[in-house]
Amino acid sequence: MWTQSLLLLSVAAAALAASATEPKIVGGFPAEQGDTLHQVSIRFRVLDEKGFGRGHICGGSLINNRTVLTAAHCAVDLENGLRFPASTFRVVGGSVERMRMTENTVVVGVDKVFVHAGFDTVTIANDIALMILSAPIPDGHPTLQPIERVTSQPAVATSCQTSGWGTTKFDQNASPSSLLAVNVTVQSTTECNSAGSYNGHLVPGMFCAGQTDKDACQGDSGGPLVCDGKLAGIVSHGRGCGWEGYPGIYSDVAYYRDWIETCLAGGCSGAGGMVISWGLLVSLLLVLIYREQ
């Protein structure tokens, strides 16, 4: 089942691994603040309030001063398909540091979450969501700024960059304290859909990028893929991390342009509030309390 190979394998694992400081993202390097002004950390609010940085579950990209673009699976309990309420989350940006606040760190709540109505927890199709912030990011903020989006899918062989606070090895739970980045190459969808790779799994709205030992990994989900300075993809899922023959799979930002614009204009439903997965949140809190005893 594809959900077993999601980059965000377990929100519990991601949220409870916050004390480790070793480098992450497969084959990566320390990210430059100036190259990642759009990058944010999406966190479980209650866990993050217990210890700053401990609530990180996903990445995201600021696309205007009140909106973050991320993956749908970051906002949904994959075990039952229910959306988490907006109040579950908070967004942190303005710094490459995950575990400590700097003078430029911004912490803001989430007012609404829009998950694509066609998101499929089995096939991971339509893995895209928007988070509307409870307060705008100030214009001219020195280290947190919106990123422009592409209008077409990047061409095969385009060199792009993805970034995040995810792990450097599949099934490794520890998360880094500083943002890492890695350069990856866009691959042919035909090749990625071949029998020796994903065997037809990629559908419209997905494309693949990466190469052996260079990839996003658990905890990078929802984060950006930037090509020629513009947001082209959203870290979605894949088989392993940096495995030969299995590049990372990204949601195609250009493909969802109309959906994004419709939501930004107020035409989306599904803000999350009727369908609440409190059970998982309670479980996470109990585990956290137990660990601190």
- As a whole number of angstroms, the distance between CA 233 and CA 254 comes to 8
Q: How many residues does the chain have?
A: 293
Calpha distance 275→153 (Å, rounded): 33
Q: 257 near 149, Cβ under 8 Å?
A: yes
Which residues sit opposite 115 in a β-bridge?
A: 129
Q: Which of 127, 215, 220, 252 is catalytic?
A: 127
CB 113 within 8 A of CB 131: yes
Task: Respond yes or no: is residue 127 known to be catalytic.
Answer: yes
From the candidates 177, 221, 251, 277, give the one annotated as an active-site residue: 221
141 included as an active-site residue: no
Q: Which of 224, 228, 227 is nearest to 251 (CA)?
A: 224
Extract the tokens encoding 290.
């137990």
**CB within 8 Å of 140: residues ≥ 6 apart:** none
Respond yes or no: is residue 201 known to be catalytic: no
The span from the CA of 217 to the CA of 25, in Å, is 6
**Of 38, 73, 116, 237, catalytic:** 73
Q: How far apart are CA 180 and CA 1, in angstroms?
A: 29
Pairing assessment for the beta strands 230-237 and 248-252 based on DSSP bridges: antiparallel
- Catalytic positions are 73, 127, 221
